[in-house]
Structures are given as structure tokens and as C-alpha cells.
Chain A
Amino acid sequence: MTDAVATFGQAEQVVPERRRRSKPSDDDTRKINWWATALIAVCALTVVVPLYLAVVVALKTPDQLASGTGFEWPNPIRWANFSEAWSRTNFSQALTNTALITVGSVVFTLLTSSVVAYALARNMHRPFFKGVFFYLLAALFIPFPIIMLPLVKQTAFLGLDNQGGMILLYTIYGLSLNIFIYTAYIRSIPIELEEAARVDGASTWRVFRQIIFPLLMPMNATVGILTCVWAWNDFIMPLVVLTDPAARTLPLAQYVFQGQFNTDYTVAFASYLMAMAPLLVVYIFSQRWVISGVTRGSIK
């Protein structure tokens, strides 16, 4: 694990330099590389084609679909697939559940991980805090399938096989990685800032709330994005933990729908599109911000 930390640390130092250099209309005096542009454009089609397929199939009638390969543009367009998918998958319920779980997880994660990371980062020279840090970090080595079976018994026993339980689990399981991301950043904040406030009589909580937390905004964005994408798209954890059909999340609803009506492709695809759309739309409007957030988190 120390190896991993070393690798991350190494990467971290070079980042600011890069950012400065690649800023606006950069000093890139190279000629435009048309070969690379063509290659990149062609490869980008592999990303676009499945999405295109999802859209056109969702707009077809079953007859149109059966008569072609699936890629033809539908004529006439059948919008009714969406309303049918909405009612058949009980979409509003699944959407509410997923939104609730995602928002809850992000909020709780931001509030708890940052506090824990702050306490750890400022006391790393003390054996207790160092021990806790490595205890939490060691969990990165334990993938979810390992604890899946006993965990399900436990959540059922504790009555946590519902949306609230999911929020709790995402918050706790995210802790390892988030603390790793936060502590590196907090240690780069000069301690003199806090000491000045402390001399003026501010408590530790107050120092955290009014000085540290606002300074953590870039990392909050990173952790928030990672948690949001994870909680929204996760399939295996809701699959094993949630028992009540009314608590189903979006991916889980698609799974159930696919099992029941596996040949009803046009309606199913409308339902897939609706499940993917919210995050996709958010991403399209904030893609620079999302990419820089994720990059910051993974090379820290």
C-alpha cells in the first residue's frame, strides 16, 4: 500500500505544472495533426454508435425493428414507447429511489469523509490516527464480493435493507477512498491558517467549518462526482441488499424489466434511455468540470 501512496504522491507533484502549461489557447505551436484527428474521430464513433442504437430502437414500433438491423432511422417515430416504459417499469418510483439514494449518499459522504480526513491529516504523527488511517485504507484491498454474503444477512437483520441502508453503506464504503483523496489535500493547507484562528479562540469544529471546509471545495467536487456516479449506476449492491420491490433503483428496475419482457425491445430501450438520461444530461452540461474533478481525484 505504501507503494501505492508513493506512486500517487509522485503523480501529484507534477499536476500544477501541467495545468499552468495547458491553459488557454496554449503555446502549442505544432501544426494541426490531421491524421490523429481522423483517427480520433473514427474511434469516437464506437462511443456514439451504441447510444445512437439505443435512441433509434427506442423510437420504433416492434414491426419496424423486426424488419431491419435496428440501425435504420424510424419512420414514423413512435413516442408512445416512452410513456409505456414509464408506467410498466414504475419509472417514477425507481427514479425517486435512485435520486434519494444518490443525493443522500453524496451529502452524507461530503459531511463525514471530510471531517474524518481532517482529524486524521492533522494528527498523522500520532499512532492512533495513523492506525485508523491505515485501517480504513486497507479496506481498499477488500472488494465488495468478499463481504457480500455476510453483509446481506446483517442488513436484513438490522432492518437496513432499504433506501436508508443504501445511503449508509455508500457513505461507509466510500470512506476509504475519500479519506485518501482528502488527507493528501488537507496536508497541503498551511497549518498557520488554523493556528491564527485558534489563538483567537476558535474551537476545532469552528476551524473546520469556517476555514478548512471552504478550502476543500475542489476535493468536495471530486468526491461528490465520484460518489454520485457510483451511487446512481451501481447494480450489485442494490441487487443484493434491497428486498422490497418498492425500493428498487433504476438499474435494478431495468434488470427486473429485462427478465420479464425480454423480447419487448422497443419499450425496454425507451426505459434504458430514460434511466441513463439524467446523468448523461448533467454530464453534457458540465463535462469539463466533471473530467477535471475525476482527474484530480485519481492522480492524487
Chain B
Amino acid sequence: MAASVPAVRAGTTSTRESKATRETAVRVKNKRAHSTYYWMVWPAVIAFALFHTVPVITGVFYSLTNYAGYGEWNFVGLSNYVNLFKDDRVLQAYGFSFLFAIVATVLTNAISLAIAMGLNAKIVARNFFRGVYFVPYVLAILVIGYVFQFFFSSSLPKILSGIPLIRDNILTNETWAWTAIVGLAVWQACAFTIIIYLSGLQTIPRELYEAASLDGAPAWRQFRSITFPLISAFFTINVVLSLKGFLQVFDPIVALTNGGPGTATESVTLLIFRGGFSGGEFAYQTANAVIFFIVITIVSLFQFKVLQRREADF
């Protein structure tokens, strides 16, 4: 019995000691992360640099040359950049991309928000309809785009033969072909956007609406004063993501018009692809890509600033 007491005491001191050493050990470790963590990160960083950062840098490098994609090349300074701003085809591509992206973004968000509110109301078979609206997300836009192409070029002219614009195949109309592309792009983009808005709407407590209707607020007022302010974070992210995505539009155009008629529906991405790979404009189009990157970054940042300030106002 007597002997056990010192033993216990010794035991406690030893644990206290070991705890102290462990703490110092942990503290020492904290200064520098365990080497395993570095092993976990380094391969990814190297691979990423090799396949993402290196192409960015070589792209900037090529943009200062007259490389055609093959053969010899020389440095030409900034002349590619200067020429870009004088090139009607490039300016037209930017004009088309912005027109397309703005119209498509507005439509996508307006339609998606309306449908999301419908799905959030108490309706019959809500989960079934939610599932239906999400279907376009899992379809390849190029492939379903070919179905739309048939619809616009062969079905619709027979169904609506009374309208000259549609009877003559809207896809071959230089002025209005872009609206068909907007239709396809919005059709697909809504799938994702609806789901985001729906998850935003479901965060709004129902009691708020009950209180508002007791106070006699009409539906529009409820939307403006409750719904919209409370989902503004979702609105911001949806608008920014859709505009950024639509500016880079490629697949729907390839499926419907392939840039035509002429170059009426040629987007920046399509121009980079065509000029860079088959037009012998490799260096010129890399310069275009650099400008495009700057444009997209500025647009995204600007949107965040504006939309976030709006959010704060509520």
C-alpha cells in the first residue's frame, strides 16, 4: 500500500512530463508542416503548373510572334494586339458574344427564377417536375443541339409556315439566327440555374410570407421585399456564372449554325478555334485569347462589385 503511493505519484509526474514533451513536439511540428503534407501537395502543383500555367505563359509568348502554327516564326512585338483592334471579324465576334451572353443571361435567370418559384410553391408531383427540369443538364449540348437544328430547319418551317422568317429557316437568317442559339443555350443552362435558385428559395422561412399576407402585402410586393432580397447571394452567383459561361459559347453554335450564315454567329471561342487551328493565325489568335481572358476577368470582377453592393443595400 505504502509502496504504491510513490508509484502512483511517479506515474502522474511521468504522464505530466510526457504530456509536456508532446506539447513541445506538437508546437515544433506546427512551425513546419509534416513533410507528408508537402508530398500530398507538390505533385498536384507541378502537374497543374505544367498543364495550365505553362500553356498560359507560352500563349503569351506566342502572342508576341507571327507563328502560324507550323514553320518558322519571328518576334513581331505587340503588332498582333494592335491588329486585333482593327480587325472587323474580331470586333464582330466580340459584339456577337456580348449580345448573345447578355440576352442569354437575362433570359436564363428570369426564366429559372420563375420556374424555381413555381417548384417551390405547393404543387402536385413536385419532385417529379424538379427531376424533369434537370434533365437537360445531363445531355451533351452538342448532341441535343443537333436535334434542335433539325427542329429549326425542318420541323418549324412546316408547322409555322405562315411566318416568313421561320418558314425560310431562321438558322440561315443573318439577322435572327442568333436568337435560335440563345434558345438552345438557355434551354440547357436553365437546368442548373433552376436547381440553385430552388435551393435558395428553400432557405426562406415560410412564416415570413404568412406574416406578409396577414399584413395584406400583394404577391409582387412579397417577391420584391422578401424573396428577392433573401436570395440575392444566389442571384449574384448565378448571374456571374452564366454570363461567364455564355461569353465562351461554343457547342450550341457548332450544333446550330457553325458560325454562319457567313460569320454572323461567330463567337470569340469559335474564332480562336477556327483561326488558330485551320486559319494559319496561331499567334494572332493567342493574342486574341489573352485579350479575351482580360475581358472575362474584368467583366466577372465588375459584376461581383456591382451585384454585391446591391445586396448590401437591402
Contact = CB atoms under 8 A, between A and B. Distances in A.
Interface of A: 3-4, 7-8, 10-11, 14-15, 17-18, 21-22, 28, 30-33, 36-37, 39-41, 43-44, 46-48, 50-51, 53-54, 57, 68-71, 112, 115-116, 118-120, 122-123, 126, 128-129, 132, 135-136, 139, 141-154, 168-169, 172-173, 175, 203-205, 208, 229, 232-233, 235-236, 240, 250-251, 254-255, 258, 265, 268-269, 272, 275-276, 279-280, 282-284, 287-288, 290-291, 294-295, 298-299
A288 to B, nearest CB: 7
Contacts of B122: 28, 30-33, 36
B115 A254 contact: no
23 contacts: A30-B206, A47-B135, A47-B187, A50-B144, A51-B135, A53-B147, A69-B154, A122-B37, A136-B44, A136-B45, A149-B276, A153-B58, A175-B44, A240-B273, A255-B142, A269-B147, A279-B139, A280-B138, A282-B138, A283-B134, A294-B195, A299-B196, A299-B199
Contacts of A254: 140, 142-143, 146
Contacts of B55: 147, 150-151, 154
Nearest to A41: B129
Interface string B285-307: 11001101100110010001100
Contact of B52 (A15, A139, A152, A208): A139
A12 to B, nearest CB: 10
B123 interface: yes
Nearest to B47: A172
A66 B202 CA distance: 48
Contacts of B127: 288
B41 A17 contact: no
Contact of A175 (B48, B202, B300): B48
Contact of B200 (A8, A11, A136, A284): A11
A208 to B, nearest CB: 8
Contacts of B223: none
Interface of B is mostly: helix
A150 B286 contact: yes
Nearest to B117: A36
